[in-house]
Amino acid sequence: MSEDARSYTNVKWRVYRRIRTDLIAKLGAVIVVFSIAMAAFSIVDDFLLSELVIETLLHDPYELNPNNRLAEPSLAHPFGTDEQGRDILARVIYGTRTSIIVGVGSVLFAAIIGVSLGIVTAYYGGLVDNVGMRAMDVLLAFPAILLAIALLASLGRGFTSIIIALGVAYVPSFARVTRSKALSVKSDEYVTAAEVMGYPTRDVLVDEILPNCFTPIIVQGTFTLAVAIIAEAGLSFLGLGVNPPTPTWGIMLSGAQQYITTAWWYSLFPGLAIMVTVLGFNLLGDSIRDALDPQSGGEERRL
């Protein structure tokens, strides 16, 4: 086992120290934790408690009230209401669920396939490497959002469809990052020793090579999650995301575009939710990269 693999158990402590000593990392971590907490709250409240908590504290995010349409922000509706009289704050909170589920789901889908492909192509090389990487080049030839739109056209709308569509679009980035790291790892002495000792190929790939690829995979996953949140909002804005009336930030922005000059709050708060959430994941991803890559010089940066 390499030194990198043996020291991987200390990765969480390096990341923890980074977050503890860096204000930017703290900010990113707080935003990410808050977003995940809001997503978890909306899942529990919606599916287990039938919106009991959100109705008690705010308003039902699905309740229509034509008599209170496009109401300005007030104590009763801190973020105002939309064109159907629904409370925007409640819908922004519930919209966090969609963004986090789609983001995490698509990243996991892309990571599982991309990492597996990257390790296998790097280890075997030759024809396997050429075929695998040329397939990734074909996918990279299409902008991720356009590839996702094309896949959604055949898969239809819904959580599962959008997770698969975005996951396929992000597979090449994980495959290339993993392959690059695996190429430098597979020639190390501990991998050669495992092969000489007769370890099965699966054990060599999973136990010897994969642990040494975790650092770039984790960093790539954090940044890809932020991109996936933007992509989900864009697809929902175009009407290709999850099915209404499920609250999503993209659908809210789509409905707000015709009221942007008369009801500024309608587009402002969903847009801010996207911006702050993506900023949090980017800040955290940047800090994790600095903590896991001493050569980046990130350990010297403190605020």
pLDDT in tens, 181-218: 999 888 878 888 887 888 888 888 888 888 888 888 98
Residue 27: per-residue pLDDT:
93
Instruction: Give dist(CA 66, CA 69) in Å, integer.
Output: 5
Residue 300: per-residue pLDDT:
42
Q: Is 65 exposed, middle or buried (0-12, 13-18, 19+ CB in 10 A)?
A: middle
81 SS3 class: strand
pTM (2 d.p.): 0.89
Strand residue runs (E) in the chain:
none
In this structure, the number of other CB atoms found within 10 A of the CB of residue 27 comes to: 17
Residue 37: per-residue pLDDT:
96
Residue 293: per-residue pLDDT:
67
Query: What Cα–Cα distance (Å) separates residue 30 from each residue in 23, 24, 26, 43?
Result: 10, 10, 6, 20
Q: What kind of fold does domain 11-300 have according to CATH?
A: MetI-like fold (1.10.3720)
Residue 299: per-residue pLDDT:
43
Which DSSP symbol is given to 294? G
Residue 302: per-residue pLDDT:
39
240 φ, ψ (degrees, to nearest 5): -115, 10
Which DSSP symbol is given to 87? B
Which amino acid does the sequence have at 146? L
**Intervals of the chain under pLDDT 50:** 1-5, 297-303
In this structure, the number of other CB atoms found within 10 A of the CB of residue 229 comes to: 27
What the block records as the tokens of 65 is 């009230």
Residue 157: per-residue pLDDT:
86
